[in-house]
Amino acid sequence: MNTIIKRTVAIAWTCCSVLFLPGCWDYEAINTRSPMIGLGIDPAEDDPEKIRVTMQFPILSRSTVGQTEGEKSGQTSAFQNQSAESYSLSEAFRAVQLKMDHEIDEAQLRVIVLSGQLSGEAMDNVIAQLMRLPKVNRLAFIVMTKKSAQTIVSTHGTEAAPMDFVQKAFMVRQQGYSINRQLWQYWRDSTQLGVVPVIPIITTKNTGDDAESGLAFDGVEVYRDNKPTLVLSKKETLFVNLLMGNVRDMGFDIPIGHGVMSLTDVRAKSRVRCTTKGSSIVLVDHVRVISTLGKIPDPSPKPLPPTQVTKLESEISQYLTQQLASTLEKLQKQQTDVVGFGRSYLQAHPEEEDRLKQQWGEMFQHAKLDVNVRVIIRSKGMLI
């Protein structure tokens, strides 16, 4: 009898389990949702407590959406924007949802554009809300603009939607002149000790005679206490990337003597440390650059002897060492440790956490430098 009961219970349990096997019980058709791929945030004009939120949606079907901004002006567009002013992002999402016949999908968010006019308090609130909202994609790239974020999100000079263009640009590995930052990375750097967050700068540019505007990156903005503090040019951004060992598969020119030479297929590795020497703190960064020779100051197409290659390596190493040290000195003057030396120091000296909270800016400013670059030319190129 017990055997029959056990078999009956097992069969009943198996039948009930089958009900949970289908994976489409919560399925929603794609044509019932509007993926939000871009988000622009500006301060509201009339109320300093409010923010103006601009959302970007791709046009998936001409038959399911009305006339877009581009079509109203006689142009075709791959996106539509919706804006709302509110005290919170949740309220802005609700206000925009009332204008649409599709459900907003925040999980598809790709790029967040922040206005440089946002106050430190507004920036705190925006980042906190983005991290708290459960459906928002924390892997979305974050950029800032000196102009209004709405202007960037509304640019029509790209074939695809502007935020789709920005995302694809960040996916390219040759990113020496900019620094990729995702939402969670900015939040991490702004809440951790020993590092100052940065956000890449995006701006509009004239793309041709038709006076249309495209998008371009223009260095990075250093933030301290969630306020814009210091702009690093594209060249300085390259040197910061070299300091952090984040250069991959790119090329750049280097002035040597009275000429210019070029390296290509550059890859950089670095070892960032923060040590003590007596009563002084030493910022240690040894960078190893591996590259291919693209151009030399001598225009004649003749093979280079090994001694000449060694000399070029030495000259390039010296030039890059000087530039990296100069960039680091600029950061020291502003007490902005974007490389993360303080984070390294905290790992070695966790007992000094309270001191770093109060004094790391000054400690970083007066620290000594030990920066060294070693360049290796693995190939002289191909001369046939």
CATH number of the domain bearing residue 282 = 3.30.300.210
Q: What is the CA radius of gyration of the chain?
A: 26
- How far is the CA of 124 from the CAs of 110, 268, 282, in angstroms? 20, 34, 32
CB of 203 within 8 A of CB of 244? no
pLDDT score of 174: 65
User: Is the domain of 165 the same as that of 287?
Assistant: no
Same domain for 117 and 202, yes or no, is: yes
- The answer to whether the beta carbons of residues 173 and 266 sit under 8 Å apart is no
In a domain, 19, yes or no: no
Residue corresponding to tokens 């400013």: 365
Considering the domain architecture, whether residues 314 and 381 belong to the same structural domain is answered as yes
Q: CA torsion 152→158→164→168, rounded to 10°?
A: -110
Give the list of residues 6+ apart from residue 36 with CB closer than 8 angstroms, or none: 55, 56, 57, 104, 105, 106, 108, 109
Domain count for the chain:
2
Two structure tokens written together for 383: 């001369």
Q: Are residues 224 and 269 in the same domain?
A: no
Whether 139 and 256 map to the same domain: the answer is no
Residues with Cβ within 8 Å of 367's Cβ and at least 6 positions away in sequence, in order, are: 274, 280, 281, 282, 283, 332, 341
The answer to the question of residue 17 being in a domain is: no
Residues 223 and 261 in one domain: no
259 and 205 part of one domain: no
Residues 72 and 103 grouped into a single domain: yes
210 and 240, same domain (yes or no) = no
In 3D, which of 203, 370, 361 has the Cα closest to residue 271? 370
201, 217, 232 - which closes a domain: 232
Spatial contact of 37 and 48, defined as CB atoms under 8 Å apart = no
pLDDT at 73 > cutoff 60: no
Q: Starting at the edge strand that comes first in sequence, how are the strands of the sheet with 248-256 ordered?
A: 248-256, 259-277, 280-295, 368-379
The answer to whether residue 9 is domain-embedded is: no
Write down the pTM of the prediction: 0.83
Position of tokens 């999908």? 105
Arithmetic mean of pLDDT over the chain: 86
Give residue 101's pLDDT: 84
212, 262: one domain: no
Question: What is the side-by-side order of every strand in the sheet holding 198-206?
Answer: 79-86, 51-58, 38-43, 111-115, 141-145, 198-206, 213-224, 227-232
Mean pLDDT of 313-337: 94
Q: In angstroms, what CA-CA distances link 251 with 79, 174, 193, 303, 321? A: 34, 8, 33, 21, 17
Cα distances (Å, whole numbers) of residue 20 to 7, 13, 116, 190, 339: 21, 11, 49, 43, 49
16 domain residue, yes or no: no
> Can you give the length of the chain in residues?
384
250-287 pLDDT, tens digit per residue, is 888 899 877 888 989 999 999 999 998 888 899 999 99
Give the CA angle between residues 185, 187, 188 to the nearest 5°.
Answer: 65
* pLDDT at residue 210 greater than cutoff 70: no
Which letter does DSSP use for residue 217 in this model? E
197, 232, 267 - which closes a domain: 232
Whole-angstrom distance, CA of residue 287 vs CA of residue 266: 12
Domain assignment present for 335: yes
pLDDT at 66: 43
pLDDT of residue 75: 45
Question: Do residue 190 and residue 298 come from a single domain?
Answer: no
Contacts of 10 (CB under 8 A, 6+ apart): none
pLDDT (tens digit per residue) in 130-145? 999 999 999 999 999 9
Q: Which of 201, 232, 263 is the last residue of a domain?
A: 232
Residues 6+ apart with CB under 8 A from 189: 195, 196, 197, 198
The verdict on 251 and 374 lying in the same domain is yes
- Asked if residue 64 belongs to a domain, the reply is yes
**Residue 375: pLDDT over 80:** yes
Does residue 7 form part of some domain? no
> How far is residue 199's CA from residue 186's CA, in Å, rounded to a whole number?
8
Terminal Cα distance for the chain, rounded? 89
Q: Determine, yes or no, domain membership for 6.
A: no
Instruction: Give the other-Cβ count within 10 Å of 174's Cβ.
Output: 12
Residue ranges making up the domain that contains 150: 29-232
What count of other Cβ atoms lies within 10 Å of the Cβ of residue 128?
Answer: 12
Average pLDDT (77-89) is: 89
